[in-house]
Amino acid sequence: MMLFLRYESFRGYLRAYPGTVVLIALNVIYFIIIALNGDPNDGETAVRMGGFLTVPGIDPFGMEEPWRYISSLFMHASLNHLFFNMFALLVFAPPLEYLLRTTRYLILYMLCGVGGNLLAAAVAVLKGDEYHLSVGASGAIYGVYGAYLFIALLRKSLLDASSRKTVYIILAFGVVYSFLTPQVDVWGHVGGALTGFLLYVVVERKKAWRSGH
């Protein structure tokens, strides 16, 4: 059973979920660094500071500067953008860190962000966009939601009924919000969620294999 309500003290939270704490800290620190060096919502600043950039026909999947797949996950275009993503991490990510343990959780999180960026790049190629530029942790966060969706659908014993409903509500709201908000990288969200759903299967099987040996 996993609950999304947080009852821990501040110190208890720090001890129990070090991976989530580190992710939040890195996002906040990098936002401050970017804000001190330009406008976080400016495209030129985003490119200069590590936003995920692809140019179909020249560098369609960003392989000339692959580090952008990671750096972009710690960038945000505004204080509101940062706040909502960090709130989601703070509240919803800890149960997954508890379930997977910190190292596996962090690996899944980062790979989900990469998966979101990769699908967004692929869609940009298919649409024939002039370029694709994105920043934000939401692809990785949707990967966390995707992992929860797998659990809610196929491992129901790990989630109480209320938490399963919460997962469905979050994803339903996320889908509607993503498609109705022009600034949102829809396919980054979709790619992150799909990666999280599929990766949870891999992580679970790896845990089962290890426990059986």
Alpha helices in the chain (DSSP H): 10-16, 18-35, 43-49, 68-71, 79-92, 94-100, 102-127, 138-154, 161-180, 186-211
Three-class SS of residue 59? strand
User: Looking at the predicted structure, is the pLDDT value of residue 142 above 90?
Assistant: yes
DSSP 97-133: HHHH-HHHHHHHHHHHHHHHHHHHHHHHHHHT-S-EE
Q: What is the rounded distance in angstroms from the CA atom of residue 172 to the CA atom of residue 170?
A: 6
What would the pLDDT profile of 42-65 be if each residue is shown by its tens digit?
Answer: 999 999 999 999 999 999 999 999
What would the pLDDT profile of 97-123 be if each residue is shown by its tens digit?
Answer: 999 999 999 999 999 999 999 999 999
Amino acid, single-letter form, for residue 177: Y
Residue 213: the pLDDT is 46
Please tell me which residue, 115 or 207, carries the higher pLDDT value: 115
Residue 58: the pLDDT is 95
